[in-house]
């Protein structure tokens, strides 16, 4: 279990996830405090993305407990009452995916406005200035009326970040946000994420192989291996005092 100062925004307790007979998460215990940036790394198939998807209930945890911003849910069967709790929990956890997932028939600003208007029942006239402010924050105020097809991959991902921020989440979940981008576009997305961490103290859980970002921005790093957190620590501890050969082998491959 991670050490917490008691101000945890996210608590994961004894989380298990099966896909058929395959156990992908094997009893994960984890806490993320307000303002903390946690980088989750490891090989494909180690359970990293599944963890984020369980926190947001895009995947139903098989067993265990998820708590986000004080909303606590047990794994297992999804009942009608639980669906309402899941809807509430999701308003506190913004998610940014590998493939952007923008609505193609909506402009950039319409994508950003959609959540507050549809989920929170805000009036479009009220939301639009805030959406413009968020697009400006990610460097895309001049692209507000462009459709996704007219935007580069990096621009689409920055719109996706603005869209997630529009719900004013307590935590941002980033699932390999740069893995679908050409190398020259990765930096523009990472710079926005760095700004969220350093300028706005956003609580963030980031699944990524971008070790430069982790070294510079993360408060803590967690190495996933075969469905467990094999090793965790500060970037300095992970890069300079690795305790497990599996962690070192992975770092040697990506650095």
pLDDT, tens digit, for every residue of 13-31?
Answer: 999 999 999 999 999 999 9
Q: What distance in Å separates the CA atoms of residue 202 and residue 34, rounded to the nearest whole number?
A: 8
> How many angstroms separate the Cα of 235 from the Cα of each of 136, 213, 225?
31, 10, 17
For residue 197, report the phi and psi dihedrals to the nearest 5 degrees: -75, -45
pTM of this structure: 0.94
pLDDT, tens digit, for every residue of 152-209?
Answer: 999 999 999 999 999 999 999 999 999 999 999 999 999 999 999 999 999 999 999 9
4 pLDDT more than 60: no
């Amino acid at each position: 279990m991670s050490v917490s100062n008691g101000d945890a925004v996210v608590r994961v307790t004894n989380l298990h996830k099966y896909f058929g007979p395959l156990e992908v998460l094997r009893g994960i215990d984890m806490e993320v405090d307000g303002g903390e940036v946690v980088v989750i790394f490891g090989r494909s198939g180690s359970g990293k993305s599944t963890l984020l998807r369980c926190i947001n209930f895009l995947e139903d945890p098989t067993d265990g407990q998820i708590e986000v911003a004080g909303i606590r849910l047990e794994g297992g069967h999804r009942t009608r009452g639980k669906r309402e709790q899941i809807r509430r929990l999701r308003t506190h956890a913004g998610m940014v995916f590998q493939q952007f997932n923008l609505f193609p028939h909506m402009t950039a600003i319409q994508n950003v406005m959609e959540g507050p208007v549809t989920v929170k029942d805000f009036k479009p006239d009220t939301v639009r200035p805030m959406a413009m402010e968020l697009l400006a924050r990610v460097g895309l105020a001049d692209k507000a009326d462009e459709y996704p097809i007219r935007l580069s991959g990096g621009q689409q991902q920055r719109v996706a970040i603005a869209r997630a921020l529009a719900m004013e989440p307590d935590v941002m979940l980033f699932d390999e946000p740069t893995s679908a981008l050409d190398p020259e576009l990765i930096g523009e997305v990472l710079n926005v994420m760095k700004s969220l961490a350093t300028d706005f103290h956003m609580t963030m859980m980031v699944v990524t192989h971008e070790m430069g970002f982790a070294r510079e921005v993360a408060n803590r790093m967690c190495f996933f291996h075969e469905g467990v957190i094999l090793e965790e620590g500060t970037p300095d501890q992970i890069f300079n005092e690795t305790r497990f050969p599996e962690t070192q082998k992975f770092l040697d491959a990506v650095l």
